Structures are given as C-alpha cells and as structure tokens.
C-alpha cells in the first residue's frame, strides 16, 4: 500500500505529534508499505519537500510551541499523491486543507487525525480552561477542516467523546499513537537523591509549576530532585521558580536512548497536565515500570491509565500531589509491585499494535469511494 502522510514538520522531535508520526512511519515501512511524507525540512527518501510558510503573529506563537507551518505547493502535492492508496492528515493547518482538496479531486481516500485539543489553544492564549472558548475552537476546527472528513483518527476514547460532544458527525477510529518497543523495564541505576520525572513541553497547560510547588510541600523536599524532560516557553519561569530548592530541577531535552537511561534512575513519574489527548510520555514511563502519579483533570485523557486511586491526585492542587509523592516514597515495595502491573498494562499500547489497527482503517478507506462531509 502507498500511504501519504501530511504533516507540516517531520524532522524536529520537539513535539509529541511529530514523534508519533515518525514512529508510525517506521513501523508501517517495516510492514512493507511505501510511506511518503509531505512536509517541510530536509530532503530524504520518499519525502516531498515544501517551503515553510509564515503566518503573521500565528507563526510566532506556534514556534514557541515547536510548531511550524508548511506552504502548500500544488505541483508537489500532486506528485506526492499520484498513485497513492490513502492519505493521512496529521494536523488541521493550511497545508492539510489545501492537500485535502487536491486529494479529493484525485479520488485518493482521506483520513484526518485529531491531535490538537481545543484547550491546548486556550491555555496558550491566556484563557486557561475556559470552556466557552474551547467550544468555539472545536467548532472553528470543524468548519475550517474536519467537516470535510467522514473518518477521523482519535488517539483516545476521551478525545473521541469530546468530538462527539462538540457535534462532529464523522466515524471516529480510536487508535493509540503507541509506545515504542524499547520502553521496557530495565535494571535501575543507583542514585542518592529521590528522583521524580515529568516529561512534556514546558507550556502552561502541562502544569510543571504544580510539581515544583508540590515538592516544596513534601516531607522529603530536602531529598527530592525533579527532572523535567522537555522544552518550551515556560522554561525561564520554571528555572526562576525552582532555583532555591535544595536540589534544583534539571531541564533538558533527551534523545530516546538518553531518556531510557534517565528513566532507570527515577523513583516516580508525575504527570500534572490539565490537558492531554493521550500523553505518550506518561505511557513510556509506566511501560518501564515507573509508577505514575497523574492529575485527575477532566480535560486530560491520562486519567484512564491509573491502575490505583493512589496514582491520582487532585488536579491543580500541590498539597494533594505532595501527599501522593510522600506516600509512594514511604511504600517502596508497594510501588515496585504496582510498577510491574503498569509495565504489563503498557503492552496493549505498543505502536506495533496500533499500526495493525491503522492498517485495518486504511483498508476500509480504500474499499469505498469517499465523499466529503461538506463541500463548502
């Protein structure tokens, strides 16, 4: 099967969507498929390169979140789509909108993915969890892009339910973005401090500030060291916020191999985000038998992964998180046993499993002639 993946940014691993796309491409190719990438960036095998596009003000804000936009060049798009069996759009940006129109004319079946939660937008423009604004953005994304699709890929049932609640009539295919097979339990690396890890962009909705404040309230504050794996616009704020802690946190971006080594020296994983469509980072951590402590935020899908009520804390509440951290520090044997359960649970989310499910969806799309949900 010839599959075309449309994504504005494919080279830089500075956001979860790009990382997910690259995992899928690698595994689809292992299954014998030809995967073409319509994107910007550096040339490469089966890559169809487009120039970057600057959208005044929007591009500036997007770059702070590790997002760039690609300019739609019709001749390049048609070349990428010629002979294709299916096209998979990852993000609802101008490139995808233009490419979708060309794909329909060429009668190439189309699948849209939903990777941009409305609350990701509201938090980053200063509106926080304003649900009136969130509903507006869900409707905007529908009218701008998703109304043209009869099939949408949703990484979790949570986001599928959100789309249904916001009036999306398409068939919703719930398939995890998947965890790479390298994330498995390994022998721990000895360490002196109590090490806590959180992985994710340093952006407002991820709430690393709650983790810093919780550690300050912990009975073991003088023994804990935080490790934040990620980058983003809140870096300077969090460095200033935590500089006087007994063990100042580390803030770094890690390759996969580096992250695997880091996880081996961790005692606990914390996921404090208010907004998550899936949170592959959390899944990677618990697949390595690292017990997660997860915010029970109503707009986060990560809650679904909790295997024990003691793996949850009250979202936005540093005291609640501090109490959970202290509990797990004081119960290492229980933590070890639960970590083994998490590692076993992680097997169902392997990217190899997700790719098989996605192949089935691609097969369904190629079996029928698809019409856009709305011709506007």
Instruction: Give per-residue pLDDT as tens, 200-223.
Output: 999 999 999 999 999 999 999 999
Angstrom distance (rounded) from CA 132 to CA 243:
37
Asked if 2-178+350-370 and 194-348 have one fold, the answer is yes
Q: pLDDT, tens digit, for every residue of 326-363?
A: 999 999 999 999 999 999 999 999 999 999 999 999 99
Angstrom distance (rounded) from CA 42 to CA 48:
10
Note the CATH architecture for domain 194-348.
3-Layer(aba) Sandwich (3.40)
**Residue whose C-alpha is closest to residue 326's, from 187, 196, 229:** 196
When comparing pLDDT for 18 and 324, which is higher?
Answer: 324
Mean pLDDT, the chain, rounded, equals 94
Angstrom distance (rounded) from CA 17 to CA 9:
9
Contact yes or no for 376/48 (Cβ under 8 A): no
Contact yes or no for 290/266 (Cβ under 8 A): yes
Angstrom distance (rounded) from CA 304 to CA 117:
17
Is residue 64 pLDDT above 80, yes or no?
no
> Quick one: angle between helices 280-287 and 16-30, nearest 10?
60
Angstrom distance (rounded) from CA 275 to CA 137:
15
Say what the pLDDT of residue 373 is.
Answer: 47
Q: pLDDT, tens digit, for every residue of 289-300?
A: 999 999 999 999
Say what the pLDDT of residue 55 is.
Answer: 82
Say what the pLDDT of residue 375 is.
Answer: 47
Is residue 4 exposed (0-12), middle (13-18) or buried (19+ Cβ within 10 Å)? buried
When comparing pLDDT for 313 and 232, which is higher?
Answer: 313
Q: pLDDT, tens digit, for every residue of 234-278?
A: 999 999 999 999 999 999 999 999 999 999 999 999 999 999 999
Q: pLDDT, tens digit, for every residue of 89-145?
A: 999 999 999 999 999 999 999 999 999 999 989 998 889 999 999 999 999 999 999
Using pLDDT thresholds of 50, 70 and 90, give the confidence band for residue 369.
low
Range list of H helices, the chain: 16-30, 58-64, 74-81, 94-105, 118-124, 131-144, 157-165, 208-217, 235-242, 256-264, 280-287, 318-330, 332-346, 351-367
Report residue 315 CA to chain centroid gap.
Answer: 19
Torsion of CA 188, 268, 158, 114, to 10 degrees: -60
Please report, for residues 22, 121, 139, 142, 265, the alpha-carbon distance to residue 145 in angstroms, rounded to integers and kept in the order given.
23, 16, 10, 5, 44
What's the rounded mean pLDDT across residues 169-184?
Answer: 96
Using pLDDT thresholds of 50, 70 and 90, give the confidence band for residue 16.
confident
Contact yes or no for 17/153 (Cβ under 8 A): no
Q: How many residues does the chain have?
A: 376
**Domain spans in the chain, listed from the N-terminal domain onward:** 2-178+350-370, 194-348
Please give the structure tokens belonging to residue 113.
């993915």
**Residue where the block lists tokens 């797990």:** 328
Residues 6+ apart with CB under 8 A from 204: 123, 124, 128, 234
Is residue 62 pLDDT above 80, yes or no?
no
The listed CATH number (3.40.50.2000, 3.40.630.10, 3.90.1150.10, 1.10.10.10) that belongs to domain 2-178+350-370 = 3.40.50.2000
Output the DSSP codes for 28-68: HHHTT-EEEEEEESS--TTEEEE-EE--TTHHHHHHHTT--
Task: Check residue 206 and report its DSSP letter.
Answer: G
φ, ψ dihedrals at 287, nearest 5°: -65, -20
């Amino acid at each position: 099967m010839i599959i075309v993946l449309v994504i504005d940014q494919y080279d830089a691993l500075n956001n979860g969507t790009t990382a997910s796309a690259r995992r899928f491409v690698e595994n689809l190719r292992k299954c014998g498929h030809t995967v073409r990438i319509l994107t910007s960036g550096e040339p490469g095998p089966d890559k169809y390169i487009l120039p970057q596009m600057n959208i005044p003000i929007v591009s500036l804000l997007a770059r702070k979140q590790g997002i760039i936009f690609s300019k739609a060049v019709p001749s390049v798009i048609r070349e990428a789509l010629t002979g294709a069996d299916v096209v998979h759009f990852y993000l609802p940006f101008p490139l995808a909108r233009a490419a979708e129109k060309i794909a329909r004319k060429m009668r190439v079946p189309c699948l849209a993915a939903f990777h941009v939660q409305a609350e990701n937008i509201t938090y980053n423009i200063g509106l926080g969890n304003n649900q009136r604004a969130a509903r507006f953005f869900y409707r905007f994304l529908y009218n701008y892009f998703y109304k043209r699709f009869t099939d949408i890929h949703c990484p979790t049932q949570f986001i599928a339910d959100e789309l249904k609640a916001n009036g999306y009539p398409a068939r919703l295919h719930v398939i995890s973005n998947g965890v790479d097979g390298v994330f498995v339990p390994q022998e721990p690396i000895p360490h002196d401090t109590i090490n806590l890890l959180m992985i994710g962009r340093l952006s407002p909705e991820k709430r690393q500030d709650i983790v810093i404040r919780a550690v300050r309230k912990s009975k073991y504050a003088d023994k804990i060291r935080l490790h934040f794996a990620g980058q983003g616009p809140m870096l300077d704020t969090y460095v200033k916020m935590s500089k006087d802690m007994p063990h100042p946190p580390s803030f770094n971006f890690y390759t996969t191999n580096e992250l695997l080594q880091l996880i081996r020296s961790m005692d606990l994983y914390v996921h404090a985000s208010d907004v998550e469509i899936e949170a592959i980072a959390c899944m990677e951590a618990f697949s390595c038998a690292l017990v997660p402590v997860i915010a029970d935020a109503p707009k986060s899908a990560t809650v679904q992964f909790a295997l024990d009520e003691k793996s949850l804390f009250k979202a936005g509440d540093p005291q609640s998180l501090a109490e959970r951290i202290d509990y797990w520090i004081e119960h290492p044997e229980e933590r070890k046993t639960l970590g083994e359960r998490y590692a076993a649970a992680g097997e169902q989310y392997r990217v190899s499993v997700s790719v098989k499910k996605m192949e089935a969806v691609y097969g369904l799309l190629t079996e029928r002639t698809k019409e856009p949900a709305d011709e506007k």
